[in-house]
Structure 1
Amino acid sequence: MLKYKNCYINYRINANSKSNDDATIHIKKSSIDFVTTNSTSKSLPNPAELFLGSFAACMLKNVERFSKMMKFEYQKTDLEINADRLENPPRMDNIVYSLIIYSNDEKLNTRLLKKNIEKHGTIYNTVKRSCQITGMIKVESLQ
């Protein structure tokens, strides 16, 4: 559904599981297995990790998006996310990220990029309504 001035976009995924087995999320042509049993808790992502993965995907998609709009080039990024989970009620309480962008481009304005990511990220904005987010963006020169 689209609405003039306020754009509403509908997303749809499918997920399934079997009793005493793990589950799978199906998104477009991708499938992501995740843990619902104890037997694979060391090898498959859990729902909290998938949540943080979505947060990471939002940030990295916006790095690419804003590299075009802000006209800077980069070779790659590394993003590390740490989060604290509260027990009662169970929820994410604090997310801290460190984003390293590998670039020699002097036009890369990290302060503006950070502002744009924080202002225009769908997942970022959804999460910040319920949890504290802090982070930094650093540029590393290419050798």
Structure 2
Amino acid sequence: MMLEYRVNARRVDAHGSLARTKEAEIVLDTDVSGRIDAFNPAELFLAAIAACMIKGIERVAPMIKFDFRGVEVKLHGVRQDAPPKMVSIDYELIVDTDEDDRRLDLLHTNVRKYGTISNTVAAATTLTGIIRRET
């Protein structure tokens, strides 16, 4: 079965754009000078990876009976100028849990194996990261 997604984005003015899907919208930083109150395309790309990982945890945790209280994802992307592209992305997946290290590794394996966005990104550039327990 194939799923399909639709997003509509439009330029608001020289300082930004707006993207919409379903009943949600997000302001995009499309200003050449940048703006601090919106995600630029690279930041939006990294946020999509983070959302994919968190959603993956939400999906797999009940299946493997993994108990957790919270999740944080920290991402760092490196962009080259010529040609412009993301050459590498690294992440730190921080989970608030009492589960043991073996179970934490199992969660990480499942998140990496079944993430639509993370799998797409990993096929196009270097995506590396760790999972750790929140201290």
Identify whether the pair has TM-score above 0.5, normalized to the shorter chain: yes
1:49 corresponds in structure 2 to: 43
Please, which of 124, 128, 134 is the counterpart of residue 134 of structure 1?
128
Letter in 1 for 2:72: D
Aligned-residue identity in percent: 35
Task: Note closer, same or farther for the CA distance 1:39–1:131 as it changes in structure 2 (3 Å cut).
Answer: closer
2:65 corresponds in structure 1 to: 71
Q: How many residues end up aligned between the 2 structures? A: 135
Greater gyration radius: 1
Provide the TM-score with structure 1 as the length reference.
0.86
Please, which of 43, 65, 86 is the counterpart of residue 92 of structure 1?
86
5+ long unaligned stretches in structure 1:
1-6
Contact 1:63 1:113 in 2 (8 A): yes
Provide the TM-score with structure 2 as the length reference.
0.91
Partner-residue secondary structure (3-state), 1:18: strand
Partner-residue secondary structure (3-state), 1:109: helix
- Which consecutive aligned stretches of 4+ in structure 1 deviate over 3 angstroms post-superposition? 105-108
User: Where is the helix percentage greater, Structure 1 or Structure 2?
Assistant: 2
Query: Residues 74-110 of structure 1: CA distance to partner in whole angstroms, max 9, x if unpaired?
Result: 1111110001001111111111100110012349712
Report the RMSD for the aligned CA atoms in angstroms: 1.7
